[in-house]
Chains A and B, each alone.
Chain A
Amino acid sequence: DAMVIQNPRYQVTQFGKPVTLSCSQTLNHNVMYWYQQKSSQAPKLLFHYYDKDFNNEADTPDNFQSRRPNTSFCFLDIRSPGLGDAAMYLCATSRDLHNEQFFGPGTRLTVL
């Protein structure tokens, strides 16, 4: 089945130790998004790629970076995780910018 896959589902890292979260899609969608969702809050958009064009939200900290080496894969790099970065990280895709977004199951990040 076509889908959005996130690995790992659970990630534990230490304070300040770089971590990379992975997302892949079989939908061949143009747009890939990364969201941060903290407990009992709405998902917060960090950035998105339209094809190879990177779009960063104005309030996304510099600590968060992203890479999209090809259509199928997108990575979220957290360069120096702090305790406040512990959250669920959701990847989503859409065919175009004003279309339905398909979400992955998320990666729950714990920072010790």
Chain B
Amino acid sequence: GENVEQHPSTLSVQEGDSAVIKCTYSDSASNYFPWYKQELGKGPQLIIDIRSNVGEKKDQRIAVTLNKTAKHFSLHITETQPEDSAVYFCAAINTGNQFYFGTGTSLTVIP
């Protein structure tokens, strides 16, 4: 089965700095990679996703990169703001429709 590893588990950055969270996966059949943000007491919300036929995707301050050969993908948040503080989960879905979350990264943006 798939194994999704996520690093780091906690991350603190100064407001305005960039934050990078990395995930690796093991199943080469995985072809859809969403990133979710979960605030305290709320359900996860999709912030960006990428499919295996694309290497990079950007949406304002958020970008995701995918390296299929190395089986890793990363979330990049630029110009971080205090409201970016949350737990971020990566995920991978394979062609067998199996969905795997990473272990989560708790991001703190220090004003």
Interface residues of A (CB under 8 A from B): 4, 33, 40-45, 55, 90, 92, 97-98, 100-106
Contacts and interface: CB of A to CB of B under 8 A. Distances in A.
A102 B31 CA distance: 19
B43 A42 contact: no
Contact of A103 (B31, B41, B44): B44
A43 B34 contact: no
Contacts of B93: 97-98
Interface in B30-72: 31-32, 34, 36, 41-46, 49
Please classify how large the interface on chain B is, using the bins under 10, 10 to 19, 20 to 34, 35 or more: 10 to 19
Interface string B85-97: 0000100010001
- What DSSP secondary structure best describes chain A's contact surface? loop
A45 B43 contact: no
Given A42-B102, A100-B34, A100-B49, A90 B97 contact: no
Contacts of B34: 100-101
A98 B33 CA distance: 9
